[in-house]
Amino acid sequence: MRAMILAAGRGERMGALTADLPKPLLKAGKNYLIEYSILSLVKIGILDIVINISYCAGQIKTALGDGSRYGVRFYYSEEPDVLETGGGILNALPLLGDEPFIVLSSDIITDYPLQKLFLRPDMLAHLILVDNPSFHPSGDFCLQDEKLSLAFQNQFSFGNIGIYHPDLFSGYQPGKFRLGGVLKEAISKEKITGEHYQGIWHNIGTPEDLSRCLINSFDSAF
């Protein structure tokens, strides 16, 4: 199985911290922010990792290299113009292959056990949901009998962790588009399952998030 880490965004909410530095390379404890996602994948034996890059792309490639120091192989999916999450994944599909693949954001820190991710043969995606955070109180989805639904008030938010089948993107044309529309179309066809995770999960979106996060507890885990 291959995996993808989303690292193309500028991280504008970080303000001056990302004026000349890509958000994935912000230091969080002893590691770059993106390294928590890398090390989580290494921990479960993922050997091939695709990283999409755009803003300060050269800095990311220089800092991370080819993956050999982590014992894996990196494949960079470069975007001259940011394609948003949906367009970015579609653009990277040739590097991800024909089998289901894991996708993580580069700005989350979590202890979710990635080895548990499983995609049913009749489904197009399986997403990890978390309690609605303060910055997104309206949530994204509700969960009914392990399937995602849009029929009721959104109970949970998407935790930016998922496993996807390439067929989820069938019919979409290359270009800039968000993942949300892709997911909602598949949800309307009852093709996405999910689970509610209540363990450690931090979305690092602002300087305050970065300073608040208890990084030291993660440093000891990797």
97: helix, coil or strand?
coil
pLDDT score recorded for residue 172? 98
pLDDT score recorded for residue 30? 86
pLDDT score recorded for residue 215? 52
Cα 108 to Cα 199: distance, rounded to the nearest angstrom? 13
Which residues contact residue 18 at a Cβ distance below 8 angstroms, ignoring those fewer than 6 apart? 10, 11, 12, 26, 55
The percentage of the chain sitting over the pLDDT mark of 70, rounded to a whole number, equals 96
Cα 21 to Cα 16: distance, rounded to the nearest angstrom? 9
The correct answer on CATH 3.90.550.10 for the domain covering 2-216 is yes
Which amino acid is residue 57, in one-letter code?
A
pLDDT score recorded for residue 133? 83
Which residue is associated with the tokens 């949970």?
A: 156
Average pLDDT over every residue of 191-198: 98
| Residue 23 near residue 60 (C-beta atoms within 8 A) | no
Using CB atoms within 10 Å of the CB of residue 12, give its burial: 0 to 12 exposed, 13 to 18 middle, 19+ buried: exposed
| Residue 67 near residue 82 (C-beta atoms within 8 A) | no
pLDDT score recorded for residue 212? 79
What is the model's pTM? 0.94
Average pLDDT over every residue of 182-208: 95
Average pLDDT over every residue of 100-114: 97
| Residue 141 near residue 156 (C-beta atoms within 8 A) | yes
pLDDT score recorded for residue 134? 83
pLDDT score recorded for residue 153? 77
| pLDDT greater than 60 at residue 46 | yes
Which residue is associated with the tokens 């014992």?
A: 71
Confidence of residue 218 (pLDDT cuts 50, 70, 90): low
Confidence of residue 39 (pLDDT cuts 50, 70, 90): very high
The percentage of the chain sitting over the pLDDT mark of 90, rounded to a whole number, equals 85
Cα 109 to Cα 218: distance, rounded to the nearest angstrom? 8
pLDDT score recorded for residue 16? 95
Rg of the chain's alpha carbons, rounded to an integer? 17
Confidence of residue 135 (pLDDT cuts 50, 70, 90): confident
| Residue 76 near residue 95 (C-beta atoms within 8 A) | no
